[in-house]
Amino acid sequence: MRERVAGPPFVHLSRPQSSQLFLVYSGMDAYYSGQQICSMGLLKFLQVSGLGSRNLTWIRDPFFNNYAGGFGPDVPDLASLENWHRQHLASLPHVREIYTIGYSSGAYGALLFGHLLGANKVWAFSPRTADWETDAEAKAALRARFQQGNGVTRYDVWHAHRNRLDRQFADTIRDCAGVTVHSHPKYGATHFLLDRMILSGEFQSLLPGESPVTAALSPSLAGG
């Protein structure tokens, strides 16, 4: 296993007024480019992405091995990380809608955990695996899970129309239930499609409308 990269593997921002949770899985830039998300700091990302008023958990893969090493000693493997996700959701009783977003190697996490958790919707941009040595095995494992289906989740997979590697990943699950692959006609062969779509406003147009917590569900009004 690769050595763990320093830094927290997740950051959670709570918005008690929102019933939506967005789990955002970063690519390698989350550690190697000043802990950025989509080529920008977390604050800037929140300001421009349209997600600043929603519950958001930013998740990173500290071993760059498609989450097989979990977060480290306390969450040491994929099964433990799946359990961490479920405990995290249980800690947010006001959340009623779950969405996952990922780009580059983070797209693998968005697809995998979106499927396991039965998320409402998954957006995967410029999908890759995190390790070329295990690339074929990881994609085959993901396809095997998707072929079982969960009967709930819809998956939108985006790639730049001339990016061969991202298209090849998308083709791995193209025919699976709930999957729609989008070949973006602009931006050539870029691997940074989500960055471009955020700056153009296209990404924001994909998001569902905000869903506030109703009085009946509000923690401050529900007693206790």
Q: Is residue 123 part of a domain?
A: yes
Contact 111, 142 (CB under 8 A): yes
Q: Is residue 193 part of a domain?
A: yes
Rounded CA Rg of the chain? 17
CATH code of the domain in which 139 resides? 3.40.50.1820
Single out the residue of 62, 89, 88 nearest to residue 76, CA to CA. 62
Which pLDDT band, with edges at 50, 70 and 90, does 149 fall under? confident
Q: Is residue 94 part of a domain?
A: yes
Domain, as residue range, for 42 = 11-206
Identify the burial level of 97 via C-beta atoms within 10 angstroms of its C-beta, where 0-12 means exposed, 13-18 middle and 19 or more buried: middle
Instruction: Look up residue 160 and give its amino acid.
Output: A
Q: Is residue 2 part of a domain?
A: no
Q: Is residue 1 part of a domain?
A: no
Single out the residue of 1, 13, 15 nearest to residue 219, CA to CA. 15
- Domain count across the chain: 1
Residue 8's pLDDT is what?
A: 84
Single out the residue of 120, 108, 180, 182 nearest to residue 145, CA to CA. 108
User: What's the predicted TM-score (pTM) here?
Assistant: 0.92
- Mean local confidence (pLDDT), 93-110: 97
Instruction: Look up residue 98 and give its amino acid.
Output: I
Contact 116, 86 (CB under 8 A): no
User: Looking at the predicted structure, is the pLDDT value of residue 32 above 90?
Assistant: no
Q: Is residue 3 part of a domain?
A: no
User: Looking at the predicted structure, is the pLDDT value of residue 140 above 90?
Assistant: yes
Q: Is residue 112 part of a domain?
A: yes
> Which segment of 3-7, 43-47, 185-189, 214-218 scores lowest on mean pLDDT?
214-218
Q: Percent of the chain, pLDDT > 70?
A: 92
What is residue 55's three-state secondary structure? strand
Neighbours of 202 (CB within 10 A): 15
Which pLDDT band, with edges at 50, 70 and 90, does 3 fall under? low
